[in-house]
Each structure stands twice: as C-alpha cells, then as structure tokens.
Amino acid sequence: MLKAAISRYGARVLPNTEQIIAEHRRRGTLIQGPEIEAFEAAFAARAGVSAGHAVAASYGRMAFYYILKALDLPPGSEIVVPALTFWVIPELARVSGLKVVFADVDPATFTIDPDALEAVITERTRAVVPTHLYGLPCDMDRIMAIAARHNLVVIEDCAHALGATYKGRPVGTFGEAGFFSFQTLKPLNCYGGGMALVRDAALADRVRALAHAEPWPDEKRVTKRFFIGKLQRIFIRPWVFTISSFPILWLSSWFGANPDVYLWENIRELQPLPAQYIERFPNAQAAIGLEALKYLDAWTARTQAHAAFVTARLRDLPGITVPATPPDRTHVFYQYCVHGPEGPARDSLVVRCVRRGIDIETLHVDVCTEMELFGDACKPAPGAERAQQAMQVPVYSDLTDAQVRRVAGVVREVLSSAGSSGPATS
Ligand SMILES: Cc1ncc(COP(=O)(O)O)c(C=O)c1O
C-alpha cells in the first residue's frame, strides 16, 4: 500500500487557532491588546520569576539584540558564541558592536564545550551565549562557574529549549538573561516572535523600553503571517507533503541536489537591521502563545516519548550513537540527532530514507566558523564539524504512534545496512 511521506518538520498547532485569530480581528485587538502583558506574565510565572521579567519581541533574535543593547557592554567587548548555532545570533552580536569569538561544541551533546569556552576567554571577554541546542541544556554548572571566575555575563539561547530543565530548573533562568523563539517550528509556535527573560529588574526595564520603542506592525502584515502559517500547516500534512514538497526531495535524491538550502534565510550582513525585525510583538500572536502554554507540557511529553521510542529501536545498532541526555537534564528534542557514518556514506543513508518516505534533515543550524560572514573569527571547530554530520530523525509531537513506528522502522532498516552500504541504490 502506498504510504504518505513523513516531513522532517511538524508544527505545534492549537486546535482553535483560526477562532482565536477571528475573535481578535472582530474585537479589533489583532495588533494591540491585553494578551501581550498576560502572555509575558504567564511566561515569567512558568519560569518561576515575577511578571515584568519577561519581555515579548518581534523575534527571538530581537530579544537577544535588546538584551545586548540594554547591557551596554563597552564597544569591542568580546562575546563567546558556540561554533554551531544559527548564524543570525553571532551576526547580531557583531551588529551590536561586539567582537564575536567562537568556542567549539561537544559533538555528543551539540552544546558548547566548557573547556573550549574557557580556552578562548581573554581580558576583553564580557559575555557568553550558551545555546541549548536542539533542546538539550548546556552544562550550566560548569558554564556558570567559568562565567563567575571571569566575570562574564551569561545570555542563554533557549530558542530550541522551552520546557527543558537542568537539575530541575528551567533553562533561561541561570544567566543574567535568556531568550526564546516562537517561530512556527519552535516548542511554542506563535507564528513568529520571541521573549527575553531577564533576571535583574532594572535590566528588564531597559529591554522593555527598547522593545516598546519599535512601531506596531500593521494588520496586513500580521494577517499575511497567519496566512503563511496556515499554508505551512497544510503543506506539512502527510498527504499534502507527499504530493507537494516531497517530490522535490525525492527527485533531488536521484540528482544529488540539496534543496534544503532554500528553506533558510539568506546569509548576509544584518546592518542595517532588516525592516521586518523592527516591530512590536502583536496581541493576536500573544493570545496564541498564552493558549499554547497550556499545551506545552503535553507536547513536550509526547515528543520525549517519541524520542524514547526511536532511541529504543536504534540504540543497539553498531556504529550508531543515539542522543545522550545527561541524567541531570531533560531534553525537549526540538531535533533528534543520531551519529553514524559521515560524509558521502551519511548522505547515502539519508537518500535511502527519503526514497522510503522519511524526510531526514542534515542541515539545521550552521557551522559559523566556516562562514565567510565571520571573517577573522573563522577557525577550525572539529566538534561543530562532526556535530553537523548527524542525521536528524523526525520525532515531533504531531506524529501519530503509527508514524513514529514507521519512522523508527525505516531508519533502523536503513541504518542497519550502513555497514554494507555503498552508493545509494535502494
Ligand atoms: C539556535 C537559535 N537561536 C536563535 C534563533 C532565533 O529565533 P528567531 O527566529 O525567533 O529569531 C534560532 C532560530 O531558528 C535558533 O535556531
């Protein structure tokens, strides 16, 4: 029987999304309204901090930018960023007048290696950005100890990790500040937006003043954003995906093309800031976030159960390493990454999975130390380069149990043949 293909991405969607949007349109509160403050307060409460310490922004990256601006570090201060992250983050640090220095990551956890962090600190280093990449918290005890020794400000990148904990404490509450993303595929989907979580009240006020100084977006723009979100939702439904995007991936698998690169934002300098970054977070998106917070724990638990199922099916395969979650942390599996064969052998396995209807991703964030954009900051980062060889298996919350069994089954069969695999033929 012909089976629908399974997309690499699954957005977390509220069953009443359209009703929430329609209700705010009717009330005239699509852009401005009381849900923004209510969402900030609920978000802060979840993190165990008082209202006023969470500030909504147009993007997660802009929350980071406002935090940097509010910190007002001396120009030319050095900020340490993991070599493996979304390129926009170091670029915005550069735009803020800071000198970006990269530290390598541990390829087993995909997060910043504390030894590598310590090794790049100089007398000009003022800040570090531990990125809880793919949903796994960094080694926060060691990072906080290093930061305390060298008097560094810690800004946690929690874009992938809302809901994750380290020693029982939520990410984003360890450093001076943290920031979160509400982009469509992130743990909390508000069709865009972000949040800064700031420990010190005066610093939080400065971040708020910066965010509030931006203009409100117009209704047309927010309506378009919801429309695009709806299209994305439709296009990743298994059968729609099977007859729309999947054929492109399937054909690419025969021609050695890599269409993934077209999914991502153009890599470029962000000075001046792109116009779409400069706006306030609208009320209807806050209303969606406020409602989605009620579902977050259930979505996280489902994703974790899917990850556990896949791990149980793959862990005994020779040459395959399933994701390691240290016992003091919880992982929310924004991405589920498996290490196995690398280079052309890895690509060949991915192609085999795609041909059997399972869309496996290999490119999600960037090895920034290889990007021309970062000029002199580029240097070898073997951990990040290895980490980028992992295969990312879909485990998102929206998959049914049967789909997870199929994903695990196909990936297991394909990976079991890794030893015997030459060029892709099946
Ligand atoms: C690691 C990381 N940090 C930060 C961000 C920025 O989030 P936003 O797209 O909301 O600006 C992303 C976005 O994908 C990310 O992957």
pLDDT in tens, 122-177: 999 999 999 999 999 999 999 999 999 999 999 999 999 999 999 999 999 999 99
Cβ of residue 61 lying under 6 Å from some atom of ligand 1: yes
Residues 6+ apart with CB under 8 A from 183: 59, 60, 159, 189, 192, 193
- Report helix, strand or coil for 235: helix
Report the interhelical angle of 201-212 vs 60-71 (nearest 10°): 120
pTM: 0.95
Contacts 24+ apart (CB under 8 A), 373-381: 373/87, 373/91, 373/267, 373/268, 373/269, 374/90, 374/91, 374/94, 374/100, 374/102, 377/90, 377/99, 377/100, 377/101, 377/102, 378/102, 379/102, 381/83, 381/84, 381/102, 381/104, 381/105
What local confidence, expressed as pLDDT, does residue 419 receive? 59
What domains appear along the chain, each with residue ranges and CATH number? Answer: 17-212 (3.40.640.10), 240-271+296-414 (3.90.1150.10)
Distance from CA of residue 44 to its chain's centroid?
20
Residues 58-83 have pLDDT tens digits of 999 999 999 999 999 998 899 999 99
Residues 267-326 have pLDDT tens digits of 999 999 999 999 999 999 999 999 999 999 999 999 999 999 999 999 999 999 999 899
Cβ of residue 291 lying under 6 Å from some atom of ligand 1: no
Other Cβ atoms within 10 Å of 278 Cβ, number: 14
Give me the amino acid identity at 50.
Answer: S
Atom of ligand 1 nearest to the CA of 131: 1
Cβ of residue 323 lying under 6 Å from some atom of ligand 1: no
Shortest-distance Cα residue to atom 8 of ligand 1: 60
Cβ of residue 279 lying under 6 Å from some atom of ligand 1: no
For residue 160, the CA-to-ligand 1 centroid distance in Å is 8
For residue 351, the CA-to-ligand 1 centroid distance in Å is 27
For residue 6, the CA-to-ligand 1 centroid distance in Å is 24
Cβ of residue 194 lying under 6 Å from some atom of ligand 1: yes
Residues 373-411 have pLDDT tens digits of 999 999 999 999 999 999 999 999 999 999 999 999 999
Cβ of residue 39 lying under 6 Å from some atom of ligand 1: no
What local confidence, expressed as pLDDT, does residue 238 receive? 74
For residue 62, the CA-to-ligand 1 centroid distance in Å is 10
For residue 86, the CA-to-ligand 1 centroid distance in Å is 6
Q: What is the mean pLDDT of the chain?
A: 94
Q: The tokens of 98 are what?
A: 């800071």
